């Protein structure tokens, strides 16, 4: 039997609920390719799934393999594969859970060829955050020059991309972050960086056309007061926004979907230096449980990536 490493969630709970195990290698089904994973991105969803916070949105049969995005090399192709071939360097969202394993079967439609100059580590940082940031920014209508946009969580995975897209579209970008990360966010193109550990964003952000809420909780609750009359809040962090939107206001819950064409164009922009992607930390496979917990307790700028070869 051909066994591989995988990071398994055995039951909902704290860091000890996930373990590295040996499992049988999957095979590629129809319309799928088998990817030998070289790197995978760490996401907030990992610990939210671990804790059981999203068990209603993502009902799971445990044990299950965690991980939602990867970069690697096509090892084998299943029936009906038209574009990809063995040996191709590919990146993409898993499309559900299961990316933290040496071999992963992925729908061909989710995958994008990696630009030649992109490393596996840089590629693994892109599939979910860069596309979710694009989709959420344009979810309530295409971003327009001159729009006033407030981005909460601007130093994070989604936030770092959203600041750049909004700036490049000519929007006036307000961005919240820790003071320690203010220079990084300014460097991405934010016009007004608000250090939330020093000041309340309500003091300087007003008449906002679009709030991108990548934080949730109190930050979301306080954001209604800075919206322009016909403004909208799009949240990736609080599904409850729909039920809790005050009368007469617009609040939308956003859920990303795989978009291989968009990912391809973003990856080209990163490869050619038109877009910055920040890999802040690289960890070994056996360090994944700690890295996932660190994402919960001390979020960092940019992304953490696991290198399968270390």
Distance CA 229, CA 43 (A): 34
Q: How far is the CB of 224 from ligand NAP (least distance, A)?
A: 16
**Residues 74, 141: contact at Cβ < 8 Å?**
no
The interface with ligand NAP within residues 158-187 (CB under 6 A) comprises 158-159, 176-178, 181
Collect contacts of 177-186 with beta carbons under 8 A, ≥24 apart.
177/153, 181/155, 181/301, 184/155, 184/160, 184/278, 184/301, 185/154, 185/155, 185/159, 185/160
Nearer Cβ to ligand NAP (67/157): 157
Question: Looking at 58-66, 154-162, 270-278, 286-294, which segment touches ligand NAP (CB under 6 A)?
Answer: 154-162
Nearer Cβ to ligand NAP (26/41): 41
State how beta strands 103-107 and 32-41 pair. Answer: antiparallel
Q: How far is the CB of 232 from ligand NAP (least distance, A)?
A: 16
Nearer Cβ to ligand NAP (73/281): 281
Q: How far is the CB of 299 from ligand NAP (least distance, A)?
A: 3
Token representation of residue 239: 């599904």
Nearer Cβ to ligand NAP (46/108): 46
Length of the chain: 310
289: helix, strand or coil: helix
Does position 132 interact with ligand NAP (CB under 6 A)? The reply is yes
Residue nearest to ligand NAP according to CB distances in the complex: 156
Q: Alpha carbon 154 to chain centroid distance?
A: 13
Residue numbers at the binding site for ligand NAP (CB under 6 A): 43-45, 48, 128-129, 132, 152-153, 155-159, 176-178, 181, 196, 214-216, 219, 236-237, 254-256, 295, 299
């Amino acid at each position: 039997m051909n066994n591989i490493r995988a990071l398994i969630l055995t039951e909902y709970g704290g860091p000890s609920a996930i373990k590295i195990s040996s499992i049988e290698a999957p095979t590629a089904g129809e319309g799928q390719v088998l990817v030998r994973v070289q790197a995978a991105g760490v996401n907030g969803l990992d610990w939210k799934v671990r804790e059981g916070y999203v068990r209603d949105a993502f009902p799971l049969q445990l044990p299950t393999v965690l991980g939602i995005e990867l970069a690697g090399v096509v090892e084998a192709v299943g029936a009906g594969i038209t574009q990809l071939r063995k040996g191709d360097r590919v990146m993409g969202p898993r499309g559900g859970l299961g990316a933290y394993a040496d071999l992963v079967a992925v729908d061909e439609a989710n995958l994008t060829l990696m630009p030649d100059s992109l490393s596996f580590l840089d590629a693994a940082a892109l599939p979910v955050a860069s596309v979710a940031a694009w989709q959420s920014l344009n979810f309530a209508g295409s971003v327009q020059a001159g729009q006033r946009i407030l981005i909460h969580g601007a130093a994070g995975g989604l936030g770092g991309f959203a600041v750049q897209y909004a700036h490049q579209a000519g929007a006036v970008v307000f961005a919240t972050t820790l003071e320690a990360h203010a220079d990084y966010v300014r460097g991405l193109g934010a016009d007004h960086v608000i250090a939330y550990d020093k000041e309340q964003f309500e003091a300087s952000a007003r008449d906002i056309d679009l709030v991108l809420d990548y934080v949730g909780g109190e930050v979301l609750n306080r954001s209604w007061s800075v919206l322009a009359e016909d403004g909208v809040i799009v949240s990736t962090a609080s599904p409850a926004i729909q039920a809790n939107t005050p009368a007469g206001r617009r609040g939308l819950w956003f859920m990303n979907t795989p978009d291989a064409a968009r990912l391809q164009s973003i990856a080209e922009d990163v490869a050619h230096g038109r877009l910055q992607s920040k890999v802040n930390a690289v960890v070994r496979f056996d360090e994944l449980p700690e890295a996932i917990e660190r994402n919960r307790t001390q979020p960092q700028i940019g992304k953490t990536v696991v290198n399968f070869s270390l």
